[in-house]
A and B are shown apart, each in its own frame.
Chain A
Amino acid sequence: MDIGRAKRGATERSNTEKWLWGGISCLALIAIPFVLEKGFSQYDLYLVIKILVFALFAMSFNLVLGYGGMMSFGHAAFFGVGAYCFSLLLVRASCPLVLAFLAAPFAAAIVGLIIGYFSVKIKGVFYFATITLSFAQLVYILAFKWRSFTFGDDGIQGIPVPAFISTDVSYIPYYFFALVITLICIYVLWKISKSPFGMMLMSLRENPERAAFIGIKVERYRLIAFVISAFFSGVAGVLYALLETSIAPEILYWSMSGDVILMGLLGGMTLFLGPALGAAIMVFLNSFITSYTEYWGLFLGTTLILIVLFFPKGLGGLAVEKYRTWVKGKKK
């Protein structure tokens, strides 16, 4: 069997399908904001943008969890550092948008480098989770206490968002801004996941010993993944700050780290787009359920328990499986 040839054939067959789906998606992405804001409400478009932000966060995180096999319980630190660095530069230093936008993810990446340097050596899911949680909480406590720098628990209000993406009148301009940034970042993450580096990550996720015995310096690769993940989490943090126009230390709290893990679980950690789906479900359901009841936790918790027990590949993984069985059925 020539694997190469089989694969090429498959691509040729679905090329027209791909163009069709691509075109429809593009149209949908462009139409959505107008449909939502004019037809429904501004709040709905706000939710969609929030989904974009958390989709990016969750997918960056998945580089470490799904691809790298490391359950970090401290990614809120990178998200929060991105948001805080950006906001502080704007508010305290009147920094131009582009500069602040570039600096913030690098700040997040540096924090990722420091935390990662100590964490990637740690073996054992529980220990890794606890050490990343500990470091992230220290960042939270720092942000809370250092009032003179970070404004403490008052947070940063009224972030000066530039006029062209201001959300005062309409969310539509910001939607397109966030969409472009998110798509670029997702494209980069996609390339990375398909690259030889991505394969190295998956190998050392599967079997770090075997990986070492083919020569891979396991810790170095883990650290690189960690830093890249921190960088894009920082970008998500910046987008969050621009969306909300005010941020508070809560975004650094470990429940934010927990939330992004749950998004991965909901959508599927083994799929590239799984966490994005998880983010969409979580943001949307949260908004929907909390408008009817205050017992969102009960709903979320039960759903997640069912997923761990019966659909550990997440709803995205389940959908892909169903699709594959359906396609196989059609072939017969």
Chain B
Amino acid sequence: MAVLEIKGLRKKFGGVMAVAGVDLEVQEGTIHSIIGPNGAGKSTLFNLISGYYPSDGGQVFFKGKDITGLSPQEIVKMGMGRSFQVTEIFPKLTVFANIHATILYHRGEGLRLFKNAGRLFREETEEILSMVGLIDKAAETSGTLAAGDRKRLEFGIVLATKPDLLLLDEPTCGMSPAETSETIDLIQEIAAEKALSVLFTEHKMDMVFCIASSITVLNFGTIIAAGKPEDIRANEKVQQIYFGEDQCSLK
């Protein structure tokens, strides 16, 4: 079953066609990657899928339902979680509070004005912190974390909304090779443990070919190629766009 289906999605900015009719399918429980050079339209595509931008045409189906034109809040509620290229967290709150606040909202406690927040959902918060490996840093101010830990925290926030599909926009952007491979391991672990589907964009080819079970290649807002990693690797058009390294830096 396709957890995400995109048909003919289009978006124009001024005179530029940022996304020019994209079709895409993500199968349930798989890790799908979108690759393409800078300016190919990857982030725009994510913003369209997650409801951050309105589209100029086309449709997006999530778990079989048409979500075109819905607000980000509504889409999140349906089970799509999103991380950003520039990690978005709540900097002045503690690591614990970042996850805690998310869980509180997600469980519908957001409008409770007179309950003590501190006592609610502590175990769930700690569980997620353990899963992303931040339990030791729970009391630290999240703004002071290193890049890799910030990304973990962001994953934690996304996980707290109990998503079925993860949209990860360049999850290893700006990370060192060590941080990158840690993050990739984390994504695989989380996806496996929670039986999630993942759609992510990336630049680093080695990472993509290691964990993705299917790949879409985007350039100038259109799909150049789509399919299994071996097919993409062999595809001439893709090789023309850039020569990807296919070393597997993981187990």
Instruction: Mark A residues whose CB is within 8 Å of B.
Output: 1-4, 7, 191-192, 194-200, 202-203, 206-207, 209-217, 221, 224, 228
The reply to whether B114 and A191 contact each other, CB–CB distance below 8 Å, is yes
Which 8 residue pairs spanning A and B have beta carbons closest together? A206-B90, A210-B88, A196-B109, A196-B104, A215-B76, A199-B101, A203-B101, A196-B112
User: For A7, what are the chain B residues with a Cβ–Cβ distance below 8 Å?
Assistant: 118
B194 CB-CB contact with A under 8 Å: no
Specify which of A4, A215, A228 lies most central, judged by the most chain B CB atoms within 10 Å of its CB: A215
Interface size class of B (residues with CB under 8 A): 35 or more
Q: How far is the CA of A214 from the CA of B75 in the complex (A)?
A: 10
**Can you list 9 residue pairs at the A/B interface with Cβ under 8 Å?**
A191-B113, A195-B114, A195-B115, A206-B90, A207-B91, A210-B88, A210-B157, A214-B160, A216-B73
Q: How far is the CA of A196 from the CA of B77 in the complex (A)?
A: 18
User: For A215, what are the chain B residues with a Cβ–Cβ distance below 8 Å?
Assistant: 73, 76-77, 105-106, 161
Known interface pairs A3-B96, A206-B92, A212-B72; A197-B111 also in contact (CB < 8 Å)? yes
**Minimum C-beta distance from B111 to chain A (A):** 6
Q: How far is the CA of A216 from the CA of B104 in the complex (A)?
A: 11
B39 CB-CB contact with A under 8 Å: no
Q: How far is the CA of A195 from the CA of B105 in the complex (A)?
A: 11
The reply to whether B111 and A203 contact each other, CB–CB distance below 8 Å, is no
Of A2, A203, A214, A224, the contact of B93 (CB 8 Å cutoff):
A203
Of B81, B82, B100, the contact of A199 (CB 8 Å cutoff):
B100
The reply to whether A216 and B138 contact each other, CB–CB distance below 8 Å, is no
From A191, which residue of chain B is reached at the shortest CB distance?
A: B114
Q: How far is the CA of A199 from the CA of B98 in the complex (A)?
A: 9
User: For B237, what are the chain A residues with a Cβ–Cβ distance below 8 Å?
Assistant: none
The reply to whether A213 and B117 contact each other, CB–CB distance below 8 Å, is no
User: For A198, what are the chain B residues with a Cβ–Cβ distance below 8 Å?
Assistant: 117
User: For A203, what are the chain B residues with a Cβ–Cβ distance below 8 Å?
Assistant: 90, 93, 101-102, 105
Q: How far is the CA of A217 from the CA of B50 in the complex (A)?
A: 15
From B110, which residue of chain A is reached at the shortest CB distance?
A: A200
The reply to whether A197 and B112 contact each other, CB–CB distance below 8 Å, is yes
User: For A4, what are the chain B residues with a Cβ–Cβ distance below 8 Å?
Assistant: 122, 126
Specify which of A4, A191, A200, A213 lies most central, judged by the most chain B CB atoms within 10 Å of its CB: A213
The reply to whether B76 and A210 contact each other, CB–CB distance below 8 Å, is no
Interface string of B111-153 (1 = CB under 8 A from A): 1111111101010001000000001101100000000000000
The reply to whether A217 and B135 contact each other, CB–CB distance below 8 Å, is no
Specify which of A192, A199, A221 lies most central, judged by the most chain B CB atoms within 10 Å of its CB: A199
From A270, which residue of chain B is reached at the shortest CB distance?
A: B92
Known interface pairs A194-B118, A196-B105; A202-B93 also in contact (CB < 8 Å)? yes
User: For B93, what are the chain A residues with a Cβ–Cβ distance below 8 Å?
Assistant: 202-203, 206
B215 CB-CB contact with A under 8 Å: no
User: For A224, what are the chain B residues with a Cβ–Cβ distance below 8 Å?
Assistant: 111
Of B105, B112, B115, B117, the contact of A214 (CB 8 Å cutoff):
B105
**Minimum C-beta distance from B78 to chain A (A):** 10
B60 CB-CB contact with A under 8 Å: no
From A217, which residue of chain B is reached at the shortest CB distance?
A: B73
From A200, which residue of chain B is reached at the shortest CB distance?
A: B110
A191-B113, A202-B101, A216-B110 given. 15 additional CB < 8 A pairs? A2-B126, A3-B138, A191-B114, A194-B116, A195-B114, A196-B105, A196-B109, A196-B115, A199-B97, A199-B100, A209-B84, A211-B90, A216-B73, A216-B105, A221-B110
B49 CB-CB contact with A under 8 Å: no
B89 CB-CB contact with A under 8 Å: yes
